[in-house]
Amino acid sequence: SIGFASLSDDGMVPETLIPLFEELATNDQDSVRLQTPDNCISFGKAMKNLLLSDGDHSIDDHLVLYHRILPLLVATIDDRSWRVRWTVASKFSEAVGAFVGCDGAVESLVLAFEKLLQDPEAEVRTAATFNLSDVAKCTANVTIADAEDASSGDEPKAKVRVAERLVKHVAALTDDESEHVRAALAMVATELAPILGKDSTISFLLPPLLLLLRDASSEVRLNLISSLSALNSVIGVDLLSQSLLPAIIDLAEDGKWRIRLAIIQHIPTLAKQLGKDFFSDKLSDLCVKWLGDDISSIREAAAINLMELVALFGADWSAKFLISSISQIREHNSYLRRLTAVKACSLMATKMDTDSACRHLLPLVVEMSTDFVPNIRFNVAKGLEAMAPVCGEAAYKAQIRPILTTLLDDSDRDVRYFSSKSLVTLEEKFSKNVKLEE
């Protein structure tokens, strides 16, 4: 550990430790130089912790030490080995945090970071881009990047926040030839919005985000849609809504099923952000369409998605925009589509009030108890078990129990098993309710 005695001019740090750092930072072996970023960051953190523990010392008292270490860190961005540059790029937000109090450090580090964002190697640019929003959170002011905008002569140069300087690079990164760089940008770019504020977000951040929504890569578009919450908190998504719609539709029909699955899982969040009216008009049909996907994981996720939309927008909304389409699916030639309809109805019912569940969904499930495919019938039994607590005891006695009793005599043993299991569970549940009432 470092003590204040070791920081003196003839102490261990300036006489032994820093010369060792300097020697290792110029070693011929890439694997040795690879440790330079970690060494420098660890030094900065140790110094900061030491100074915080003693109010009698400040960074200004030890600037000479900082000014010997900082150039070693900055020099790694020009290292001949891309692995060294990748290492410093991936840890750059840590570097800024370790040296933020040192005079001139942030200025040097931001300039170095900008070079990493333009590195010849895509892997380095990707690592730097992942750090973009965290570096931008630094509250220090730096000179503006464009020399033409700076004051001329001996006048002080204009200062801006780090985020205001770095946001100018977002537009260039949207055109990066590497899909990985653009995908990384799509994940972090919206996090700049709370730092920039509404006006700067609209002026400088929104235009490149609109470009990312039209990116050729589905992963890029998906990453951006997945990270819209930060943007929504600053400007809302109204300005993005018209561009969001085609992006969501494209992702919904993407050839990669994992992409389709991911966009389904983000639909409830998007529904909150877009609002009931916009979502109902533009995307409600798409949510039902997913029930007919060829991949079972997509169909299951679609059913869960409908349940969450019912919880969000209510039973009346689902009756208007969802249930008629689901009713048509139960007549589909494919038993897999009919099976999904059963699951969707039983899940949606759990988020409804008793009257809505009994009126809109219970009749659909009951009618499917006579389906000629056993798999459908025993899933009806399972679905009725899930729906019964919502539908209430009256509906159980009048409609659910008679159906389950009929299924006890089914020709298929799986149907008999699940109907019996559901019947036992529900009889026990409602008999307990009766005892509690007594």
Which one of 223, 240, 256 terminates a domain? 256
User: Does a structural domain hold residue 388?
Assistant: no
Instruction: Name the more confident of 210 and 432.
Output: 210
223 and 114 belong to one structural domain: no
Q: For residue 432, how many other CB atoms are within 10 A of its CB?
A: 10
**CA nearest neighbour of 284 among 251, 259, 313:** 313
How does pLDDT run across 382-424, given as a tens digit for each residue?
A: 999 999 999 999 999 999 999 999 999 999 999 999 999 999 9
pTM score:
0.80
What is the domain range of residue 199?
Answer: 167-256
User: Does a structural domain hold residue 89?
Assistant: yes
The pairs formed by 280-287 with CB atoms below 8 angstroms and a separation of 24 or more are: 280/313, 280/317, 280/320, 280/321, 282/245, 283/245, 283/248, 284/309, 284/321, 284/322, 285/321, 285/325, 286/248, 286/249, 286/252, 287/322
Which one of 197, 223, 256 terminates a domain? 256
Determine the 3-state secondary structure of 283 from DSSP.
coil
1 and 139 belong to one structural domain: yes
Radius of gyration of the chain (CA): 31
**CA nearest neighbour of 220 among 255, 253, 261, 251:** 251
User: Does a structural domain hold residue 415?
Assistant: no
H/E stretch holding 256:
none
How does pLDDT run across 65-103, given as a tens digit for each residue?
A: 777 888 999 999 999 999 999 999 999 999 999 888 777
- Number of domain units in the chain: 2
**Quick check: 151 pLDDT over 50?**
no
pLDDT of residue 73: 93
What is the domain-level CATH number for residue 29?
A: 1.25.10
User: Does a structural domain hold residue 27?
Assistant: yes
Which one of 223, 256, 289 terminates a domain? 256
Instruction: Name the more confident of 18 and 375.
Output: 375
**CA nearest neighbour of 237 among 209, 217, 265, 261:** 209
Q: Give the DSSP letter string of 333-382.
A: S-HHHHHHHHHHHHHHHTTS-HHHIIIIIHHHHHHGGG-SSHHHHHHHHH
User: What percent of the chain stands above pLDDT 90?
Assistant: 66
Pair of tokens at residue 431 = 């008999």
Give the Cα separation of 61 and 343 in Å (integer).
69
